[in-house]
Amino acid sequence: MLSAVVALVGAVVYGSADFLGGLAARRLRSIVVTAVAAASGLVALAIAQPLLGGLWTLPDVMWGMLAGIAGVLAVALLYACLAIGPMSILSPLTALVSAIAPMLWGLLVKADSLAPIGYGGLAVALVAVVLVGFLPGANIVRPTARGLLMATGSGLAIGAFLILIDQTSSESGLVPLVTSRATSALVTVAFVGVMAAAAVRRGAPARSVLQVSGPPLGATPTGHADLEHATSAEVGLAAPARRAWWLAIACGIADASANALMLFALRSGDLSVVSALTALYPAGTILLAAIVLRERVAPVQWIGLALALTAGGMLAVA
């Protein structure tokens, strides 16, 4: 099934976006990286949309706007739960819920039908999501009820994004993604503006809200994952502030590309399959961290990567 292959590639691109965003967030505030990524992704989608075509209809525009709101909510809850911790539990929980929610919607509401090997692939994919998203080396402490609730809410919001985008018509092309990204950009840029105005009222320069002023949370701006890798050591890639801005721009373009791949997968396949494979986005982050940052991939994550490829193969032939 072509959609399974595209969804798996999209997951790797999502992970790459998280990696770039995490590096940028070492120098810039996460909300600033979020706003820049939303804006750059919007520009990329706006350029691509006329080239690929697509009808502008009110239902598709509305679905896109609702998806954008869900994305912003996912980011807000993600940052909140990662600030509470522990990341080693809450990050994979978010990814797992983001897979299960739309998967159940596809199976129970849309009545997606798979061959027996497909259902087995979904189960393998869910196990892979947990193993790939696990953050080794973190202190294992019991998560609070508040942290668990926020992680679950973030995962549900990410899942809602997939469900809402799946409601759009195939004739709309990239239009839903353009409106979704425009909504996200409007909300996040407005929030940064409010922060800047508040800083000016306190007598501080507006630019003081742009850069990190305290310990980074390790959260990434796309609402998909925690990137502890980018905050664990000094990395030359994120040293200059100017480079951080370019990393944030690249993050947005990569995330927009992943969204386009996800949309193509949804329109050519089943929501249940696409959601399970999309949730494997930490694979891209892990691979880039190993290549660029020379980080060691934990054995449990290698097992998760192997299971992810196995699940992709099973779902591709389902």
- Quick one: average pLDDT of 251-280? 92
Q: Which residues pair with 211 in a beta bridge?
A: 28
pLDDT at residue 63 above 80? yes
Q: How many CB atoms lie within 10 A of CB 233?
A: 9
pLDDT at residue 240 above 80? no
d(CA 24, CA 249): 9
pTM reported for the whole predicted model:
0.85
CA distances from 40 to 22, 240, 247 (A): 16, 20, 11
- Quick one: average pLDDT of 137-158? 81
Question: Cis omega (within 30 of 0) on the bond before 116?
Answer: no
- The model's confidence at residue 135, banded by pLDDT at 50, 70 and 90, is low
Which domain range does residue 121 map to? 2-316
- The helix or strand, by DSSP H or E, that contains position 24, with its residue range, turns out to be helix 2-24
Sign of CA dihedral 200, 206, 209, 211: negative
Q: How many CB atoms lie within 10 A of CB 97?
A: 21
pLDDT at residue 239 above 50? no
**Rounded to 5°, angle at Cα 78 from 306 and 228:** 55
Task: State both tokens at 270.
Answer: 């089943």
- Nearest Cα to Cα of residue 255 among 1, 6, 92, 20: 20
pLDDT tens by residue, 26-46: 788 888 888 999 999 999 999
pLDDT at 236: 43
pLDDT at 59: 95
pLDDT at residue 220 above 70? no
Q: Where are the alpha helices (DSSP H) in 105-240?
A: 116-133, 145-166, 175-201
In the three-class reduction of DSSP (H, G, I as helix; E, B as strand; rest coil), residue 226 is classed as strand
pLDDT at 85: 66
- How many structural domains compose the chain? 1
- The model's confidence at residue 24, banded by pLDDT at 50, 70 and 90, is confident
Identify the weakest region by mean pLDDT among 113-117, 175-179, 265-269: 113-117
- Arithmetic mean of pLDDT over the chain: 83
- The model's confidence at residue 88, banded by pLDDT at 50, 70 and 90, is low
pLDDT at 137: 61
- The model's confidence at residue 144, banded by pLDDT at 50, 70 and 90, is confident
pLDDT at 187: 92
**Rounded to 5°, angle at Cα 150 from 183 and 301:** 95
- Nearest Cα to Cα of residue 36 among 165, 211, 198: 211
pLDDT at 232: 43
